Amino acid sequence: MEGSIVLFALLLLVVITIALGVRIVSQGSKHVVQRLGKYHKTLPPGLNIIIPYVDTVAYKVSTKDIVLDIPSQEVITRDNVVIIANAVAYINIVSPEKAVYGVEDYELAIRNLVQTSLRSIVGEMDLDDALSSRDQIKSKLKTSISDDIADWGITLKTVEIQDINPSGTMQQAMEEQAAAERQRRATVTRADGEKTAAILEAEGRLEASRRDAEAKVVLATATKEAIEKVTAGIQDKELPAVYLLGEKYVEAMRGIAESENAKMVVLPADIPAAVRGLMGAQK
């Protein structure tokens, strides 16, 4: 009975020893092996043999591309404007032993490194440049941190700027500024329109006055010529004046008759005599 127990215990020990000595590493990962607490080797994907009780798998590291989400943070631009920026980094671990022994937590370290570099790069730019130069920020960011994480056996595949926007207070200020600018432009446009309309109206009145004056000159010239012709024809200097004054007299009476306040207009029976009377009064 005791012999059976001892045999079973030996078999169990053999099975455990074989299990500890055989390591199957999945594709897309590598295992870091320590021998008596010291780094020994890195196991590639597939079947691997290690020394039981002496070698131990200390770390299991993924060799797939890892996506690191960089948290949003406030960044101050060169012109003292606060913007909110975040990013995402794609990394690949090429040397697992450097990644686990070179830094305490490589994911946390890379996040902090990206955040610090992003603040430094955006801090050297004005607001307008920061909002419109994502590719430039991306290129500088990748260059600034690639060498640092290479010491940890990690390759930076790419880094992308997800969002880069002004803070809530700054957005409100920008919206108010844009509204004020639109209002200013509308006021200027309205003022220019009113100015143009006033100029056109004044020019219209000036042109109308000029045309009216020209018409009066033409009418006076025509009247003068008519009087001269009549005088030359009848050789009477009084009759043309009587004719002219009579014409004006009749036009004045017509205007009085067409007035809304006029009720009755009485014309003299002898208009030529009346006109001669006016001529005598003027003399």
- Side-chain-side CA neighbours of residue 187 (13 Å): 6
Give CA–CA dist 156/89, Å, rounded. 7
Element spanning 137, H or E: helix 134-150
Q: What is the pLDDT at residue 248?
A: 64
Question: Is the pLDDT score of 263 beyond 60?
Answer: no
Residue 23's contacts (CB-CB under 8 Å, 6 or more residues apart) are 31, 43, 47, 48, 49, 50, 57
For range 257-280, the mean pLDDT: 57
Give CA–CA dist 167/169, Å, rounded. 6
Q: What is the pLDDT at residue 282?
A: 47
The residue among 4 and 107 whose pLDDT is bigger is 107
pLDDT band per the 50, 70, 90 thresholds, residue 165: confident
Q: Mean pLDDT, the chain, as a whole number?
A: 80
- Beta-strand runs (E) in the chain: 22-25, 29-35, 38-43, 46-49, 55-62, 66-76, 82-93, 154-166
- How far CA 261 is from CA of 116, 249, 255, 265, in Å, comes to 92, 19, 11, 11
pLDDT band per the 50, 70, 90 thresholds, residue 283: very low
Residue-wise pLDDT for 208-246, tens only, equals 888 888 877 777 787 767 666 656 655 555 555 556 656
For range 160-179, the mean pLDDT: 71
**Would you state the structure tokens that stand for residue 135, as one six-digit string?**
């590719």
Residue-wise pLDDT for 83-107, tens only, equals 888 899 999 999 999 999 988 899 9
Give CA–CA dist 148/91, Å, rounded. 13
Which three-class secondary structure state does DSSP give residue 51? coil
Question: Is the pLDDT score of 186 beyond 90?
Answer: no
122: left (phi over 0), alpha (psi -120 to 50) or beta: alpha
Residue 120's contacts (CB-CB under 8 Å, 6 or more residues apart) are 144
- Cβ–Cβ under 8 Å, residues 44 and 69: no
pLDDT band per the 50, 70, 90 thresholds, residue 112: very high
**Would you state the structure tokens that stand for residue 209, as one six-digit string?**
């006055």
CATH of segment(s) 66-166: 3.30.479.30
